[in-house]
């Protein structure tokens, strides 16, 4: 079955270190998204991509970067981790149709703790 996976599921790092979170989907979806979810709140969009070599900033993109070299993967990089980036990170993917974007399907999440 097609799926979307994230790795690692849990990560502890120190401030100032570079961290990369992986997201891999096997649905062949064009669109991929990264969100963060802070305790007790909804999801906020970090970056998104509509296809290979396309990347766009979301509402909370500062301190994060993404690259899309193939359809299946959208890794999220924290250039210099900060304690404020401690959060749960969700990757999602969706397909496009003639009416626009379709339902997003979410990965299991990555819990990141920055000490």
Interacting residues toward another protein by CB under 8 A: 31, 33, 35, 37, 40-45, 48, 50, 58, 88, 90, 92, 94, 96, 99-101, 103-106, 108-109, 111
Question: Tokens standing for 39?
Answer: 């305790």
C-alpha 95, offset from chain centre:
16
Q: Are the CB atoms for 74 and 23 separated by under 8 Å? A: yes
Please identify, using beta-carbon distances, which residue of 14 and 38 lies nearer to another protein: 38
State the Rg of the chain over Cα: 14
Q: Which is nearer to another protein, 16 or 51 (CB)?
A: 51
Taking the complex as a whole, how short is the minimal distance between the CB of residue 16 and another protein, in angstroms?
A: 27
24: how many CB neighbours lie within 10 A of its CB?
Answer: 18
Nearer to another protein, 58 or 63 (CB): 58
């Amino acid at each position: 079955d097609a799926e979307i996976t994230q790795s690692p599921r849990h990560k502890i790092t120190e401030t100032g270190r570079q961290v990369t979170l992986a997201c891999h989907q096997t649905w062949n979806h064009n669109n991929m998204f990264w969100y963060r979810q802070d305790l007790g709140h909804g999801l906020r969009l970090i970056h998104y991509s509509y296809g290979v070599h396309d990347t766009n900033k979301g509402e909370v993109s500062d301190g994060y970067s993404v690259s899309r070299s193939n359809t299946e993967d959208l890794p999220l990089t924290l250039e210099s981790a900060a304690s404020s980036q401690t959060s749960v990170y969700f990757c999602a993917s969706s397909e496009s149709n003639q009416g626009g974007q379709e339902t997003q399907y979410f990965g299991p999440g990555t819990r990141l703790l920055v000490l």
